[in-house]
Structure 1
């Protein structure tokens, strides 16, 4: 008789999902203790990794720039414009790059001596002893590009133990005395205790790291960010810096703003200083020339009995002659000023520099060309100092300088030609009148050249004196490009490392790793270890379990 066997039902997806869930529950039930141990191990490892990282602090400062696009007090702007004074406005985009330039940060590092840092080992990490170090190291002789690490352990009030690595990487120990030079293979140093040195520091090691100034500046720049909170409206720049010590971050930010303001003032005062030197040299020359002309006029009047009365019949011609003399005087004054400006432009072609905008000429077109040249030159100096002379912007600025200078030369040449032509016409008219006045005013005509020369030099002298005072006022009222709204500030607790997040991540990672490991091992196991490993589709009863 045939044995009728019931057909086996097909395996469904729900069975696979139930099997996976059973595997997870089985792993948790069997290996819960090991999973807890793995989680604790992961949390401990994460705590150790967080403990090895140095503290990082963040400070923020805010400055308000004198933006060229924004307007200030109308009366102040009007007065400064009349005196020809630069208001000190800055382009925010350019100034943001200047604040992050290596040149500024190098100056900060040198002023604050940040290329030498002091550290103390605590637990797993190192603590920056900025301004809290018990000792200071003076590098009396060391190569500028040399970096070194010293480990100094105070022994008592007079002695210390110094350790450093030689070229083979071996540790070398030396005993020294405070205040006395110590010669090392790569430097000559002297170590001095600070007011913070106490007996508690004995037998505790201070780690001293000395780096090149440029490397230290680049490290600080990596943690510096300059942002504009509202790119459309405000002239506010917000500066943030991360450092290994909160006080160091504050000092670097505050000093960076001071250095930036000082350099911007110096740049704007270059034109004023050049103008001052030019005015002083011309005043000296004109003063000597005026004294010589005064002496000649006095001698002439002493020798000649000059009578200023003229015949009534010649009064009209005499008045006309005087008017022509006045016009000739004005033209000659302008010609002299134009010649001085032409010499200044030629000198600028040989050696680049600023051109004095105080020309004294009524032609405003020439003055505008010179102002455009000076603006291009100052912007070129700023950008070339940080971006280099081959930068496309600096090349464009050089072309702009050359074009504006050439335009000024051409305009000045045409202006001088017109002056000379007009002067020749006036001289011709004056000569015709002079011929009619020669007989009655021959003696007075002899002194006219001296008087005219005296007037020209006197007008020039008075004008230069006035410009000297205006230039001094311009230098005195030069304002900073950045006005500090908030000095460096921020919390004194570190922003990194975040220990709690490290521990939470490590604990979760350790637990998940162990769970996945056990699940993988269970899924790869194709043996029947107990009755629970029998598939649910097998409806045959389990009679017994045999031990191994």
Structure 2
């Protein structure tokens, strides 16, 4: 007859994730989460308490167009912005050359710190007078000095050599020393606050300071339609960061002004050099004229040749202008030949507009090349292209000067030819007067040239004096009031996250690596078609492990009552009113098979039913240990082996309060358990017992180690298969599933032992099936 199975005990086929169940797995360990959260909060507090405060300092400036200067924007401003390449300006601003000037000016390779009890904080300057003797570019190795302020003076220690210096009265200027700096206090009131404090001075190389500054400064354009630059730097000392940005803008401005003044300076140098030469020539001509008149008694020209002389004077004036142009052109050509890579003087009197334009373009190209070379290097392709343009312009200037000189020479020849016409008109002028005119003409040429250069020098000096700035400061360096790092809300949020993730990750790893069965959910996922009829709770009290008192109302007793009730539902219906056979087995030793068999039989006995417990585990019997009887007492093995053995006379009463409960022990351990169980006498025993008892509970051997249980499984009405929580491996349950599906075990149902605790009961069942078996 088919067994009547309680559908409420059958596992569902659903394999969906139960979020509440998964959450409960972690909630069980809430003390771990609470502890790690507390530790994370403490760690976050300590970090926030002692972590260095980082402040952000920002400055803004506008790059001025050289052609516009400080004028307000016009309607054509958008179109004129193309004159400024902000990318080039950013590269120049952050170039090593500019930053090196900043580092030298501020001595940035010298850093100052104040030591606290736990934390050492960087400060912008020492709170007393400090004078650095060593130059920034003279430091080639790292140096560290510790200054301790005492009530008697300064104690300075070289951290590398551990050599100490003592300076009384807080003044190192009055004591001979070879320290790279001098310090002293100027205010006795502030000295009281400094006593007991320690300060650290660290010297580094200028290169490392410049590279550190280059990596820490960030320069960016505010927007695509703006020519404003925003500079940002982060550091512990707000004062130091503000000094750096303000000085950087100042150095960059001075560098731009110097570039704009360079042409005027070169023009002044050229004119000053020519002044010396012309002054000497004018002195020589004046002396020659004076001596010539004195020696020849010359005073005035003849009135009759006044008109001819006037005409010749005009012609001479034209010759003078041409010769002046030739002199200026020759001087300019000399400058080009002597200084092929430098700037050329402008507006020195050349009356050729094309030559003046080429000179201006040449000077502009020189300035562009020098700026690009300072930031990109001489081998930069852009620099090389600029150099090619300079060479082309220089070649064009030389050719233009040569052509201009040829034109002047031709004009001079024509004028001289015309002058010959006037010779007849003034032929009556004495030869000496003619020579005087030549001297005066030379004098006039030199004077005119001198006055011209003097005018150009004044123009260059004015341009030099009124050179416009290259930048406009929009915002001087301003530091944030609150530090940007560390941020308390982020640190605490990170602490909370870490406080949850550490125990969660640890538990998740444990759960992932855990292959043990823990409850009915695990059983449902593994073998959903086999019903679960009982969950036996774990208990730590050994005295309450057995169902001794039929009226016991403990959790353990109730769980076995529920198990006995569910077993009744599993039993097949029959009308012969004979006893029912219940097998109790498991996969391996230690799962509580004997414990469940014994307590199940006692639970059935408490219902006023006659129950026989048979110890069928002939290899490793354990029932005798629970009722304190000798292990070698006669029992099942003796009955199976001896035909004359009467099992009824060897029934044991192990519990006084269970008068309907009988026990047939396993007996002596035989060498051939399998042969004894299949000789037919065990079947006869069950048949006889069914006539006497309502229930026959059989404690059988584990199934995965030996075949004893499968040899007699056909006699069972229901097979109770025990798995132990936190002990039985999930992979082992696949073996029990195969036994049920193949029919080797009849009417199987699961029971989970030790639910609710990760530790075993403390029983040592002592299974050891390593010895060989005989059939």
Task: Please say whether Structure 1 and Structure 2 have the same fold, judged by a TM-score greater than 0.5.
Answer: yes
Structure 2 partner of 1:267: 259
2:131 & 2:272 partners in 1: Cα distance? 48
| Structure-2 separation of matches of 1:243 and 1:387 | 28
Match of 2:150 in 1: 155
Tell me, yes or no, if the aligned pair for 1:41 and 1:507 is still in contact at 8 Å.
no
- Aligned pair 1:513/2:502, yes or no? yes
| Residue 106 of structure 2 is aligned to residue 115 of structure 1 | no
In the alignment, does 2:485 pair up with 1:496? yes
| TM-score under structure 2 length normalisation | 0.61
Q: Deviations over 1:290-335 (max 9, x none)?
A: 2333344445455135434226xx95x6655343222211111111
Return closer, same or farther for 1:40/1:298 CA change in 2, 3 Å cut-off.
same
Using the alignment, how far apart are the partners of 1:531 and 1:2 within structure 2?
25
**1:45–1:194: structure 2 CA closer, same or farther, 3 Å change rule?**
farther
Residue 347, structure 1, aligned to residue 349, structure 2: no
Task: Give per-residue Cα distances to partners, 1:412-443, cap 9 Å, x unaligned.
Answer: 01110111112112212212331453136756
Shift of 1:249: 1.2
RMSD: 3.1
CA distance in 2, matches of 1:163, 1:434: 93
- Per the alignment, residue 145 of structure 1 pairs with 140
Give the match for residue 102 of structure 1: 96
Q: Cα distance, 1:389 vs. partner?
A: 2.3
**Which structure: greater helix fraction?**
1
By how many angstroms is 1:137 displaced?
7.3
* 1:348-387 matched pairs, under 5 angstroms: 348-349=339-340, 352-387=341-376
The correspondence of residues 191-206 of structure 1 with structure 2, limited to 5 A, is 191-193=183-185, 195=187, 198-206=191-199
- Are residues 246 and 492 of structure 1, via their aligned partners in 2, closer, same or farther at CA, if it must alter by over 3 Å? farther
The answer to whether the 8 A contact 1:220-1:243 is kept is no
1:429-440 aligned within 5 A = 429-439=418-428
Tell me the distance in 2 between the aligned counterparts of 1:139 and 1:60: 31
Asked whether 1:252 is paired with 2:244, we answer yes
Of residues 212, 217, 229 in structure 2, which corresponds to 1:237? 229
Q: Which has the higher relative contact order, 1 or 2, with Cα contacts under 8 A spaced 6 or more apart?
A: 1
1:497–1:327: structure 2 CA closer, same or farther, 3 Å change rule? same
Distance 1:106 1:4, change over 3 A: same
Q: CA deviation at 1:130?
A: 1.6
Which of residues 217, 221, 230 is equivalent to 1:224? 217
**Contact 1:289-1:457 at 8 Å conserved across structures:** yes
Equivalent residue number for residue 41 of structure 2: 43
The equivalences for 1:10-409 within 5 A come to 11-12=13-14, 15-18=15-18, 20-28=19-27, 30-51=28-49, 53-68=51-66, 73=71, 91-122=85-116, 124-134=118-128, 136=130, 138=132, 140=134, 144-160=139-155, 162=157, 164-166=159-161, 172=162, 174-177=164-167, 178-179=171-172, 180=175, 190-193=182-185, 195=187, 198-232=191-225, 234-301=226-293, 303-304=297-298, 306-310=300-304, 315=307, 320-349=311-340, 352-409=341-398
Q: CA deviation at 1:11?
A: 2.5
- SS of residue paired to 2:426: helix
d(CA) in 2 for partners of 1:135 and 1:263?
A: 31
Paired residue secondary structure (2:280): helix
Distance 1:137 1:307 in 2: 77
Give deviations 1:217-237, integer Å, cap 9, x for gaps: 2212222122221333x3322
Q: Mark the CA change 1:295 to 1:203 in structure 2 (over 3 Å): closer, same or farther.
A: closer
Equivalent residue for 1:475, pick from 464, 467, 474: 464
In the superposition, relative to structure 1, how do residues 409 and 463 fare at CA in structure 2: closer, same or farther (>3 Å)?
Answer: same
Shift of 1:50: 4.7
Kept in 1: contact 2:348–2:453 (CA 8 A): no
Q: CA deviation at 1:544?
A: 4.1
Task: State the distance in 1 between where 2:60 and 2:266 align.
Answer: 34
Pairwise CA distance, 1:51: 4.7
Q: How many residues align?
A: 516
Deviation at 1:264, TM superposition (A): 2.5
TM-aligned CA deviation for residue 113 of structure 1: 2.4
- The 8 Å contact of residues 24 and 519 in structure 1, kept in 2 or not, is answered as no
Q: Distance between the aligned counterparts of 2:132 and 2:301, measured in 1?
A: 83
Partner of residue 413, structure 1: 402
Question: Structure 1's 153 and 54: CA in aligned 2 closer, same or farther, altered over 3 A?
Answer: same
Instruction: Say which one has the larger Rg.
Output: 2
Cα 1:430/1:392, change in 2 over 3 Å: same
